[in-house]
């Protein structure tokens, strides 16, 4: 399983939280995080140009056989239990190519949307692309505890 992010997480409290859940996830699945560097001279580009260039960088990290889940406010909402079932149905215990993607501040390009197999919304509210990272990792960890019947989910 891969967590693909545009840009670095630069806030220490988010980095700490992400590290906590990433360490916990190692008990359940293969996991790696890939951070695509932010674009240089982005201030001279339009929002559309930024999305296109970021999209090219995202697509370079995705293999043809990967199933791609875009974390997107316009995606489908799921309960924690539904998300756990989503993971379980994909046989996430192995090293199957499941890639979760968080785009940059302006979202995804059309080419990334076209490549995505599923759009997942964490909430109908909009969160910063950095905060979404921590929220998603917590939900990913929670999903595994649901699958395993462990008590964290009820806490």
Per-residue pLDDT tens digits for 73-129: 899 999 999 999 999 988 755 546 899 999 988 999 999 999 999 999 999 888 888
What local confidence, expressed as pLDDT, does residue 95 receive? 45
d(CA 103, CA 36): 10
| Residue ranges of domains in the chain, CATH in brackets | 2-154 (3.40.1280.10)
Residue of 43 and 99 predicted with greater confidence? 99
Per-residue pLDDT tens digits for 57-67: 999 999 999 99
3-class DSSP state of 104: strand
């Amino acid at each position: 399983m891969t967590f693909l992010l545009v840009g670095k997480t630069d806030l220490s409290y988010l980095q700490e939280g992400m590290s906590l859940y990433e360490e916990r996830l190692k008990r359940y699945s293969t996991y790696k995080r890939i951070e695509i560097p932010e674009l240089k001279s982005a201030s001279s580009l339009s929002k559309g140009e930024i999305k296109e260039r970021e999209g090219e960088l995202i697509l370079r990290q995705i293999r043809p056989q990967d199933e791609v889940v875009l974390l997107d406010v316009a995606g489908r909402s799921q309960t924690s239990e539904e998300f756990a079932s989503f993971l379980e149905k994909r046989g996430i215990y192995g090293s199957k190519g499941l890639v979760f993607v968080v785009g940059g501040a302006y979202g995804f390009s059309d080419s990334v949307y076209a490549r995505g197999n599923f759009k997942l919304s964490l909430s109908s509210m909009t969160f910063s692309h950095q905060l979404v990272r921590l929220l998603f990792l917590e939900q990913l960890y929670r999903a595994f505890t649901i699958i395993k019947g462990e008590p964290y989910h009820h806490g």
